[in-house]
Amino acid sequence: MVYIYDILVNFNDSYLFDFFEWNMNDGIDNLKKVRLYRISSHSMDDLMKNQVCVDHSFLEEIFKTCEVYTKNSVRTFPYVCLFSDGIRVLAIEWSSDGVSSAKSKLILEEEEDVLEIVEDMKLYDLPYNVISLDLSRSFLTRKELKIRKYLKAEIEDAYHGGKYEKLKFLYGEYFEKEIDSYQRMEEELLASMEYFLDSKHVTLYELLRLSHKKKQV
């Protein structure tokens, strides 16, 4: 059994943020002790990109092996552990039925320390199944999520609020063409940023922000 001591994690149940995207108001935990497993790169890809479910035998193996510092004491997480393929490191919190419920990367310095330890570890055959794809964790940064949320609100407001000239402008700026259906305009604009953002999305965001600032002057 290999344990890692005194590391920071930023568990999130929706997105997997790199350490440089962590905010001061995030619920960052200081783990006193957590078990580490070395797995294959294929398994690591599955854990990072998807929601997976592990066998109950694995849950029993890690039950209350993770300790976390609190303000006045130390408590245990029921099901938390670390994984690495020798290139990346991932912390996962599991639900009582074995589903990956929250994930976290590590800060760079602590990740490097873990990677040194992993070099001497044997590969562990993790018993799991992929139960759903979770592409949003992999392709959008925290800043991009903010931009997507803003654009989504503006596009939906333009369509449902009857601001069709604005909707036509946004559609034309992004797709550089015209269509007759306002419903299709909304659907295609929203679909264009489902899994990723490009430079045109950023341009739309900046144009809308600038427009709102001019209205406030």
CB 90 within 8 A of CB 103: yes
203 vs 86: CA distance, rounded Å:
38
For the segment 45-98, what is each residue's pLDDT rounded down to a tens digit? 899 888 999 999 999 999 999 999 998 899 999 999 999 999 999 999 999 999
Say what the pLDDT of residue 136 is: 47
Q: What is the mean pLDDT of the chain?
A: 91
What tokens appear for 131 in the block? 């139960």
CB 89 within 8 A of CB 41: no
73 vs 71: CA distance, rounded Å:
6
For 8-12, 92-96, 160-164, 192-196, which range has the lowest pLDDT when averaged over its residues?
192-196
For the segment 118-130, what is each residue's pLDDT rounded down to a tens digit? 999 999 999 999 9
162 vs 170: CA distance, rounded Å:
14
Q: Where does the pLDDT of residue 139 fall: very low under 50, low under 70, confident under 90, or very high at 90 and above?
A: low
pTM beyond 0.85: no
Q: Where does the pLDDT of residue 156 fall: very low under 50, low under 70, confident under 90, or very high at 90 and above?
A: very high
